[in-house]
Amino acid sequence: MADYKLLINGALVDGDAEMDVINPANEELVAKCPRASRAQLDAAVAAAQAAFPAWRAMPIAERKAKLTAIADIVQANAQELGRILTQEQGKPIGDAVGEAFGASAFFRYFTMLDLPVKVIDDSPNRKVEAHRRPLGVVGAIVPWNFPLILMAFKVPAALLAGNTMVLKPAPTTPLSTLKFAELIKDVLPPGVLNVIADGGELGAEMTAHPGIRKISYTGSTATGKRVMAGAADALKRITLELGGNDASIVLPGSDPKAVAPKIFAGAFQNSGQVCIAIKRAYVHDSIYDAMCEELATLAQNAVVGDGLQQGTQLGPIQNKTQFERVMGLIESAKKDGKIIAGGERLGDKGYFIKPTIVRDITDGARLVDEEQFGPVLPVIRYTDPEDALARANRSEYGLGGSIWSSDLEQAYDLATRMESGTVWVNKHAELAPNIPFGGAKASGIGVELGEEGLAEFTQLQVINVAR
């Protein structure tokens, strides 16, 4: 069994305690994981504080070289990282290795950005410049659905900007992140990046920690609210990428055979455990029956199993708590609609759920109104696109959404009025490191990725000089 360590001040160290990491495909032990104490969190923050002055002063070209080295190491070790990720998270091995390659690409992207001084005014009487300064120590808290790629939403941008960091993965998926730390520990000066793991108790401690100047958190809206409250006393900077209940609106005239596979992929990637997965599909009455039939066939034919097995398309739910929640939503859906595919657990070992399609369900049902975060899709009938848009916008969430139509003008018009941070047309859940990503309403505050995401890890300083 592999031996995992925390990374604090450039050294690989044991935790003050241990915890088990369970494989969701078989409910067996993957590894013992070090569990950091509050004292070790304090040591990690202190190390990051001590490393900050020199890292901030390092020329940005040298910081970029460090990020490039990290990208190279992650790329070279993508197979190993992917295998660890599949064992702790459950996703198919091809997806897990792809996630590792994606993390490498995100690190590489940020090496192409700069933080130039912007001249606002250069007149005879004054010169005004806008500078982007690092904040200090950044705390990054990453969820269990995409441990590596969501880490790479945060770490390269924060480090490029000149910050130092304390990174904490989710309690149920710490191993791939700890392996990442082990692989890159000698690239960065001691203390620049510290990686700890916990059983869930240190997130609040990080949020309120006086030595941390910003928290970048990805996870549930409920926890995001606690992060915001915990950061309030110190007016700590925050970026929150939270839950979503993404709606897809399929307009009349769409071809169900062409659109259904894309809707299915957008809803069931990573067994639906994606913040921007399609969580509700509004389908026009004229094509409703045909779309339901196509989606049901896709669900019935999907290969569900252990992510390490060849041919697996969908893995298990990542943890028991989420598995039980999704099964509860399915039970509610049996009363609120008609299940035409799936609707039950697969096997008696592991957290597997058959891909589930629910028709003849509508707004007000738990499965429609709540974020399921699992392999269950409600398909909702509508007759008026304006009504579908109003129903989509009625949600407290606003992370993403999509419009599907052969009439791009109509689709674009609806997209401009959908209350979401990102709206796709004739696709869903496409992300790229150069495209800013953030949520509206209860789906978050701030953005990640792109130049805008880099700016979130900085303090704007204006220098105004009289002449």
In the predicted structure, residue 153 carries a pLDDT above the cut 70? yes
Please give the pLDDT value at position 447: 98
- Tell me, yes or no, if 386 is annotated catalytic: no
Give, in order, the Cα–Cα distances in Å from 442 to each of 99, 242, 360, 402: 27, 7, 27, 18
Of the residues 241, 371, 448, 456, which is catalytic?
241
Specify the residue for token string 């995001």. Answer: 224
Closest CA to 82 of 315, 348, 277: 315
Identify the CA nearest to 197 among candidates 226, 213, 175: 175
* Mean pLDDT of the region 262-288: 98
- Using a pLDDT cut of 90, give the percent of the chain over it: 100
User: Each residue of 93-105: pLDDT tens digit?
Assistant: 999 999 999 999 9
Q: How far apart are the first and last CA of the chain?
A: 68
Q: Is 129 a catalytic residue?
A: no
Alpha-carbon torsion 215, 216, 222, 223, what sign? negative
Q: Where in the chain is the domain with CATH 3.40.605.10?
A: 6-242+443-466
Output the DSSP codes for 274-319. -TTSEEEEEEEGGGHHHHHHHHHHHHHH--BS-TTSTT--B---SS
pLDDT of res. 2: 80
Tokens 């990805």 belong to which residue?
Answer: 218
In this prediction, what percent of the chain has a pLDDT beyond 70? Answer: 100
Give every CB contact of residue 151 below 8 A, 6+ residues apart in sequence. Answer: 103, 140, 142, 167, 169, 177, 180
Per-residue pLDDT, 410 = 97
The answer, yes or no, to whether residue 1 has pLDDT greater than 80, is no
Residue 191 has pLDDT above 80, yes or no: yes
Q: Where in the chain is the domain with CATH 3.40.309.10?
A: 246-432
| Catalytic residue of the set 33, 182, 275, 294 | 275
Is residue 76 within 8 Å of residue 220, measured between CB atoms? no
Write down the architecture of domain 246-432 according to CATH: 3-Layer(aba) Sandwich (3.40)
**What ranges in 406-462 are assigned the alpha helix state H?**
408-416, 450-455
* Cα-based distances in Å from 102 to 8, 53, 109, 116: 25, 30, 10, 27
Residue 450 pLDDT > 90? yes
Instruction: Over range 26-50, report the average pLDDT.
Output: 98
Nearest C-alpha neighbor of 213 from the set 132, 131, 153, 158: 158
Residues 6+ apart with CB under 8 A from 128: 119, 120, 121, 122, 462, 463, 464, 465
Mean pLDDT of the chain: 98
Half-sphere CA count of 390, side-chain side, radius 13 A: 6
For the question of whether the overall pTM of this predicted structure is more than 0.85, the answer is yes
- Position 340 confidence tier, pLDDT thresholds 50, 70, 90: very high
Q: What are the respective helix, strand and coil percentages of the chain, to the nearest 5? A: 40, 25, 35
Q: H-helix or E-strand containing 82? A: helix 78-89
- Out of 3.10.20.90, 3.40.605.10, 3.40.50.1970, 3.40.50.1370, which CATH number does the structure's domain 6-242+443-466 have? 3.40.605.10
Residues in the chain: 467
**pLDDT single digits (tens) 380-418:** 999 999 999 999 999 999 999 999 999 999 999 999 999
pLDDT number for residue 294: 98
Which residues neighbour 234 within 8 Å (Cβ) at sequence distance 6 or greater?
A: 208, 210
Q: What is the pLDDT of residues 364-385, one digit of tens each?
A: 999 999 999 999 999 999 999 9
